[in-house]
Amino acid sequence: MTNKTKTQKPDDETNNILVGFVRKTNAGKALKLSINTSSFADCGTYVTSDGQTYVQLVISLNSLTGVIEGNRAVTAINHLSD
């Protein structure tokens, strides 16, 4: 029986592209996403079976919870490339 392990890159070797920020609206009843459109040129995309092209974005749940609860003013939206 062969044991395979997956090697993970250290955090400093992961290619993160900062794409934008998330914050609460002034009224505090919604989240506002601010996206830098020029950063999409550096992001990888994928195509779904219906031909639509998407960019995969990531937001830390812990940081987003902090924004929602009012403990943080803003958190980052990133694109993680392999």
DSSP string, 28-43: SSSEEEEE-GGGGGGS
The answer on pLDDT for 56 being more than 50 is: yes
Q: pLDDT value at position 40?
A: 78
User: pTM for the whole thing?
Assistant: 0.75
Higher pLDDT, 31 or 7: 31
CB 58 within 8 A of CB 77: yes
Task: Phi first, then psi: give them for residue 33, nearest 5 degrees.
Answer: -100, 125
Domain count, the chain: 1
Q: pLDDT value at position 1?
A: 46
Q: Does the residue 74 lie in any domain?
A: yes
Listed residue (31, 32, 33, 7) closest to 20, CA to CA: 33
Higher pLDDT, 9 or 24: 24
End-to-end, the C-alpha distance of the chain in Å comes to 29
Q: Does the residue 1 lie in any domain?
A: no
Q: Does the residue 25 lie in any domain?
A: yes
Q: Does the residue 7 lie in any domain?
A: no
Q: Does the residue 63 lie in any domain?
A: yes
Q: Does the residue 4 lie in any domain?
A: no
The answer on pLDDT for 70 being more than 60 is: yes
Containing structural domain, residue 27: 14-81
